[in-house]
Chain A
Amino acid sequence: MSTRLGLALGITLATATAVWWLGATRVALQSGGETAPWAAQALFVLALLRAMLIAVAAPRIAAGAGYSAGVRSAIPIVTAAWPVVALAWTASVDSVARTVLVEIALLGGALAAPVVGAVLARWRRGSASALPLASLSGIALACGVWLLSVHWRQLVDWAYA
């Protein structure tokens, strides 16, 4: 069930981003504008939204159903966007190494985020407050990702360099 939930969330997110990106690209093609900046934006948006979605969903699922359920829901959120990520990369000027590095970081996040929920569940064993606390923690993590996104590109460039 966790895997299907993650896949459904990932497909929805990737499809919405693809519709926005391809729509903007079509407008750019018809008006003679540049298309590469839209592809770079799509890569950035996909990375940011997947990171935030994992931050919100994985701790909550892990607090309720265990660490492995959290991982099973978080990883499909990352993988479902790969076809769109690959296509956006071919339309962008971003290097393949940087794009792969972002995906590896997201997979790392998908393995790490459920740890928060699992720790909270163990700490508040038997208490009804574990789930709300996990949700709050997830929202705080997502806010952190959002704030970090300002420096996201610089961080990725630094890591790549």
Chain B
Amino acid sequence: MILQSQEPVSAELTVTSGEPVVQSTVQLAPGEQARFSIPVQANERITAAVASAGMKPERREIGLSLAEAPLLAWVAPAAPAQSPPGFHVIAFDTAALPENAGAYSSIDALVIDRAMIGALTERQLGALLSFLAGCGRTVMISDTPAAAGMLQGAVGCSGRNFAEAASPDAALASLNVILDSAGSDVPHATSLATLGGHELDAWYLAVAVVAIGMAAMALAGIFSASLLTAILVPALATLAGLWFMQSRPVDARLLVWAEARSGDRLAQYGGLQRAMSSRRGDFDVPVLAVLANPHSCNVGKPKTWAWDAQAQRYASARFAGRLFANASLCYSGSFPVTRDAVARTNAAGHLELRNAGPAALPRGALVRDGRLYSLPPLAPDAVLALDPGPGLQPADVIEREAIARTPFDRLAILWPLDLQSVDKAPPSGQAWLLLQVGAGPAQVQQ
């Protein structure tokens, strides 16, 4: 979206694409064009309105035709000989590629010509790298083998969703291979909500408020038969209860679940930020800048997003507060990971775990055969003989989830992660990394 004004002005920009609405305060310099790239949910009708004091509001509307088939973005000069079955192909030139990684969520696969990557702007390249790091299905067309270069280093999921091809038709064949080998994703918001547990604090408060109010009225009835008492005591109990509930702070929670396989340079994560308010009325939840791709979850959607035009990101989300209402924001992305471990059978036939990464492994929990074993810290290249004992039953939902997401014939290690680097993260936030252990040189026998 491009805005231009003849005089310096601070304007309120509102973008409506279904629910929620995006709002931003933009500063316009006289005669200069200001370009804004705001990712919004795809909708058949998208409206942008600009209003400022002393100016006539301007409003523009565009219509979109939403495809029912998966979308394949084609960014290459040559088209394939035949259309890929099951996909709706959209041809782009490089100028139309998004500047925000979140916008890539509207496509299901990308075919891009290596020669066109050089024409991308810095922001477009950053968005493309984020898409690749997030295991976005991508095929790069290049005459030169292994021309991916810098892109190869940014690809997530150990390159399982990335391929190179010499021609458009070969690109489609590579895409089919990627689709056939699609692995499991990081748990989505519903699973994360289950991991976070049920938020019953507000419920207990409500029970307490009702119980105290009823007790106060019963006592008043015992000690007084006055009508004035029968009016004043309930009225005061009501006001006190309302004041108590309205003055409670918003209870914020954050849960991040990350997964990586042995050899992965990037771990994929899903994040769920929840806020429980016991009061009636709107409240704002800050969007965590460190976590990528903030978006609405299926439940507890915000009313409005506040877009920071300077930082080019969502700054906060406004929710309609109600007692027991759940406000949720979802995140997804990737982060570099250096932890790696492989399992192998030694000469004596016992299972060993080796730290195959460059850094020491901290204390964690080893998942094996549906049981949990304590894993001591392990220096780089150190080998640990695994405990042949029966292990422990999972103690909580996090450990149960780790077992559920580990194939029965594989090993995995679960670690808690430190959220101190996440700005504005709630103190009660939790983050976990589950690493699927690789197989060593010898055949793993369990």
Contact = CB atoms under 8 A, between A and B. Distances in A.
A90 B279 contact: yes
Contacts of B392: none
B324 A7 contact: no
A85 to B, nearest CB: 8
B71 interface: no
B429 interface: no
Instruction: Give the size range of A's interface with the partner.
Output: 35 or more
Interface residues of B, number: 38
A7 B234 CA distance: 10
A72 B214 contact: no
Contact of A32 (B193, B227, B238): B193
Q: Which of A3, A36, A81, A92 has the most CB of B within 10 A?
A: A3
A36 B325 contact: yes
A38 to B, nearest CB: 9
A123 to B, nearest CB: 26
A153 interface: no
B221 A7 contact: yes
B230 A76 contact: yes
Interface stretch (A18-26, A57-65, A124-132, A135-143): A18-26
Contacts of B221: 3-4, 7-8, 11, 76
B217 A7 contact: yes
B234 A80 contact: yes
Interface centre among A25, A83, A87 (most CB of B within 10 A): A83
B79 interface: no
A154 interface: no
Contacts of A71: 227
Nearest to A92: B322
Contacts of A3: 221, 225-227, 229-230
A4 B322 contact: no
Interface string B208-221: 01100110011011
Interface string B227-241: 101110011011001
A66 interface: no
Nearest to B279: A90
A117 interface: no
Contacts of A79: 230-231, 234-235
Contacts of B323: 35, 39, 87, 90-91
A91 B103 CA distance: 35
Interface in A45-97: 71-72, 75-76, 79-87, 89-93
A29 B230 CA distance: 34
Count chain B CB atoms within 10 A of each CB in A25, A28, A71, A93 and give the residue with the most.
A25
Contact of B217 (A11, A25, A72, A85): A11
B245 interface: yes
B199 interface: yes
A11 B322 contact: no
Contact of A84 (B203, B210, B246, B322): B210
A6 B230 contact: yes
B198 interface: yes
Contacts of B210: 15, 18, 22, 83-84, 87
B107 interface: no
A75 B218 contact: no
Given A8-B221, A90-B279, A22 B207 contact: yes
A83 B241 contact: yes
Interface in B125-158: none
Given A11-B214, A80-B217, A35 B227 contact: no
B299 interface: yes
A160 B211 CA distance: 31
Contacts of B209: 83, 87
Contacts of B213: 83-84
Nearest to B281: A90
B198 A75 contact: no
Contact of B230 (A7, A39, A91): A7
A93 B230 contact: no
A76 B217 CA distance: 10
Nearest to A7: B221
A8 B225 CA distance: 11
Contact of B237 (A32, A82, A90, A91): A82
11 contacts: A1-B225, A11-B221, A15-B210, A81-B234, A82-B237, A83-B210, A83-B241, A85-B238, A89-B280, A90-B280, A92-B322
Closest 9 CB pairs of A and B: A83-B213, A91-B323, A76-B230, A35-B324, A79-B234, A7-B221, A90-B323, A82-B238, A90-B280
Given A8-B221, A82-B237, A90-B278, 14 more contacts: A22-B206, A26-B200, A29-B199, A29-B200, A32-B299, A72-B230, A75-B230, A79-B230, A79-B231, A87-B209, A87-B245, A90-B242, A90-B323, A91-B324
Interface of B: 190, 193, 198-200, 203, 206-207, 209-210, 213-214, 217-218, 220-221, 225-227, 229-231, 234-235, 237-238, 241-242, 245-246, 278-280, 299, 322-325
Interface of A: 1, 3-4, 6-8, 10-11, 14-15, 18, 22, 25-26, 28-30, 32, 35-36, 39, 71-72, 75-76, 79-87, 89-93
